[in-house]
A and B are shown apart, each in its own frame.
Chain A
Amino acid sequence: MLFIKRGNLDQLLESLRGGYRVYVPRKMGDSTGYSLLGESDTDYVIGEIRSFEPLKSFFFLGREKVAEDFKPDVLRDDKPPCIVGAKACDLKGFRILDFVFIDDEYGDPTYMKARKDGLIISADCTGVGETCFCTAVDINPWPDSDFDINLSPVDDGFVVTTGSEKGRDTVENNKSLFQEETEAQVRAVKQNRNTVKSDVMKKAQEKRIPSADRLQRIVNKQYESNIWEEVSENCVECGACNTICPTCHCFLLYDQKSDGKLARFRVWDSCMINDFATVAGGENPRDRLWMRLRNRFDKKFNYFPEVAEEIGCTGCGRCIAACPGKIDIRDVLARLET
């Protein structure tokens, strides 16, 4: 472990701008949101809680050209992304997306390239959001893995951990910016982690969220329950929960002609929208809203544990904050237990 002063981190990020598009969290109202780090910018915040938006959008774009004419490749010359301050829940989101999009035969080329070439500088949470419940899905509010470099905020700077070859190289190449950490700093990191974790746990317990090992069984057991229908009464079918979710990966392919060229776009789609599963002849296996709501839970808490041995929910609580119908995934899980 090492220590980096805040001012030195500014310098590190400035130098990373040469090889990456560096995205940093900035204060936006009560929350934080990501935007590009410009020359000499230092107005970013590390720590606090996860940003308003999910980080999938930097690797799996909302709308992206994936094929042109009949050419084998779509050429891209932009620099890879470097995401600063990513939280443990975001990293868990990448684990799910990696499972979906990375494969030898049918891997998504742009996602795989961005993941391979990108740099993740994550950070411990230093607070608890209104809707946070990561501990309920077995995630700590600090990154344990899946990062290149992790920052644990302490006085005047950050305790630094590296989690990959790329992270170690980055530190090595900028050695003069780092110094040895002190015992007091390590203790401060531990203390912050313990405090935040117990705060998240307390909130999760207040919501009576069933324990992570029971979630799959509960969702399965309640498959025919009328809870789905009752909960869906408040759903307005806007798809915000899908858009804001760090693990939602569904998309549609959309072809168009522009400037005499054929282009195929990959566009985010939402399983809550009526026509999501409709076939050309008009048949829709999920023609009722509650069936689509149930399908969303089934995908997160049954499908992903089944095929990837991962719960498809990161406990980030973004869907709770985004829902105009005030549907709270924590309450739904608690109700399914009863």
Chain B
Amino acid sequence: MKNPYRSIEAEVLKVTTETDTIKTFLLKPKEELTFKPGQFMEFSVPGVGEAPFTPSSDSQITETMEITIVRVGKVTDAIHELKPGDTIGLRGPLGKGYPLTKFIGQDILVIGGGVGLAPIRTLMYGLFHMREQLSAIVYRGGCRNPEEFLFREQLEEWIKRDDIDIRLTVDAGNDSWDGSVGVVTTIMDDINVNFARAKAIVCGPPIMMKFATFKLQELGVRDRNIYLSMEKNMSCGFGKCGHCRIGPYYCCKDGPVFTYDMIREYPGIWE
């Protein structure tokens, strides 16, 4: 019988400082470990504890994996102290990924905010791998300030591509920013897709997901086509420990990506 509590040993190969509070860790698991866009991993610092994160790298790269992590608590403090060569634990992949096959033939709207842009990078790689099967990709990203944007070089590359409609905005601009200013919903009015059939993916802070969802509804996107990345306290990662319940679901096992029609009636989903 498999032990679902056991972590796989992995080595930290590289640490990239993205912002004051965000670092990306390039990891090499010592055993085979693959994942699908939208699935998450329990990342542990030996003896300190575990926390759940969605990888930020291309899921077709199987030898290594990148995870981008904001420093917010005990475990992430310890993670931010890690150096190349250190040993960590990975448990997963956990949860259900994005149902990419359901996206075939559709217009795809990707709405990301803040550190939500990290897991969205994994999804974007996945979408680009199947670009010919999608009728459109629209990307709208928002951050509080220009410095918060993760993977700037990547975003510049995507902006140069002609097979994606991409726009970025910041809540508060500064001298380095000549783009849009305002929350992400303010750059959603010029989107030109078939809203009634479009699939929308939203990932970011709860308040941003809430208003992006309402905006998508207003534009005509169906609740069953709005895919939300829910953030709950996920401990075991497979629906046993009881922490991340949303109505009849566990965020870890049945999500963490849910369509809005699945969860809209349950309280506290935006908290």
Interface of A with B (CB < 8 Å)?
66-67, 70-74, 100-101, 105-109, 112-113, 223, 249-257, 262, 264, 266, 269, 271, 276-286, 291, 295, 299, 303, 306-307
Answer whether A66 and B5 are a contact pair too, CB < 8 Å, given A250-B242, A279-B231, A286-B268. Answer: yes
Residues B181-200 near A (CB distance < 8 A):
none
- Shortest C-beta distance, A262 to chain B (Å), equals 5
Q: Which of B47, B241, B253, B267 is in CB contact (< 8 Å) with A255?
A: B47
Q: Is the CB of B46 within 8 A of A285?
A: no
- Shortest C-beta distance, B231 to chain A (Å), equals 6
Residues B210-266 near A (CB distance < 8 A):
231-233, 235-236, 238-245, 247-248, 253
Q: Which of A282, A291, A307 is in CB contact (< 8 Å) with B248?
A: A307
Q: Is the CB of A101 within 8 A of B240?
A: yes
Residues of A within 8 A of B245 (CB): 295, 299, 303
Number of interface residues of B (CB under 8 A): 43
Answer whether A269 and B233 are a contact pair too, CB < 8 Å, given A262-B46, A284-B271. Answer: no
Q: Is the CB of A252 within 8 A of B3?
A: no
- Shortest C-beta distance, A128 to chain B (Å), equals 31
Q: Which residue on chain A has the smallest CB distance to residue B268?
A: A285
Q: Is the CB of A279 within 8 A of B5?
A: no
Q: Is the CB of A249 within 8 A of B232?
A: no
19 contacts between A and B (CB under 8 A): A70-B9, A74-B3, A101-B240, A223-B267, A250-B242, A252-B241, A253-B241, A255-B48, A257-B46, A264-B6, A269-B241, A269-B242, A276-B243, A277-B244, A281-B231, A282-B72, A283-B206, A285-B267, A295-B245
A307–B239 Cα distance when bound, in Å, is 12
Chain B contact residues, majority secondary structure: loop
A47–B30 Cα distance when bound, in Å, is 55
Q: Is the CB of B241 within 8 A of A251?
A: yes
Q: Is the CB of A100 within 8 A of B6?
A: no
A113–B3 Cα distance when bound, in Å, is 12
- Shortest C-beta distance, A49 to chain B (Å), equals 28
Residues of A within 8 A of B6 (CB): 67, 70-73, 264
Q: Is the CB of B1 within 8 A of A112?
A: yes
Residues of A within 8 A of B85 (CB): none
Q: Which residue on chain B has the smallest CB distance to residue A266?
A: B5
A307–B247 Cα distance when bound, in Å, is 10
Judge if B8 is at the interface, Cβ distance under 8 Å.
yes
Interface of B with A (CB < 8 Å)?
1-9, 30, 44, 46-51, 72-73, 75-76, 89, 206, 231-233, 235-236, 238-245, 247-248, 253, 267-269, 271
Q: Which residue on chain A has the smallest CB distance to residue B73?
A: A280
Q: Is the CB of A278 within 8 A of B233?
A: yes
List 14 additional contacts besides A252-B241, A306-B248; criterion CB under 8 Å. A70-B7, A70-B8, A73-B3, A100-B240, A106-B238, A107-B4, A109-B3, A253-B236, A254-B49, A255-B48, A257-B47, A269-B243, A277-B233, A280-B73
Answer whether A109 and B243 are a contact pair too, CB < 8 Å, given A262-B47, A283-B271. Answer: no
Q: Which residue on chain B has the smallest CB distance to residue A271?
A: B242
A137–B25 Cα distance when bound, in Å, is 52
Q: Which residue on chain A has the smallest CB distance to residue B48?
A: A255
A105–B253 Cα distance when bound, in Å, is 12
Question: Of residues B8, B49, B75, which shows the largest number of chain A Cβ atoms within 10 Å of its Cβ?
Answer: B49
Residues of B within 8 A of A249 (CB): 240, 242
Question: Of residues A71, A276, A283, which shows the largest number of chain B Cβ atoms within 10 Å of its Cβ?
Answer: A283
A67–B9 Cα distance when bound, in Å, is 13
A108–B248 Cα distance when bound, in Å, is 21
A137–B239 Cα distance when bound, in Å, is 25
Residues of B within 8 A of A277 (CB): 232-233, 243-244
A205–B49 Cα distance when bound, in Å, is 49
A256–B253 Cα distance when bound, in Å, is 25
Q: Is the CB of A106 within 8 A of B233?
A: no
A269–B8 Cα distance when bound, in Å, is 25
A71–B7 Cα distance when bound, in Å, is 8
A151–B248 Cα distance when bound, in Å, is 37
A25–B120 Cα distance when bound, in Å, is 56
A70–B90 Cα distance when bound, in Å, is 10
Q: Is the CB of B76 within 8 A of A256?
A: no
Q: Is the CB of B239 within 8 A of A106?
A: yes
Closest 6 CB pairs of A and B: A250-B242, A257-B47, A285-B268, A106-B238, A66-B5, A280-B73
Q: Is the CB of A276 within 8 A of B236?
A: no
Residues of B within 8 A of A284 (CB): 271
A254–B4 Cα distance when bound, in Å, is 14
Q: Which of A74, A252, A283 is in CB contact (< 8 Å) with B243?
A: A252
Q: Is the CB of A251 within 8 A of B51?
A: no
Q: Is the CB of A106 within 8 A of B232?
A: no
A316–B27 Cα distance when bound, in Å, is 50
A281–B69 Cα distance when bound, in Å, is 12
Q: Which of B47, B72, B232, B235 is in CB contact (< 8 Å) with A285?
A: B232
Answer whether A252 and B232 are a contact pair too, CB < 8 Å, given A71-B6, A276-B243, A285-B271. Answer: no
Question: Of residues A107, A257, A264, A295, which shows the largest number of chain B Cβ atoms within 10 Å of its Cβ?
Answer: A264
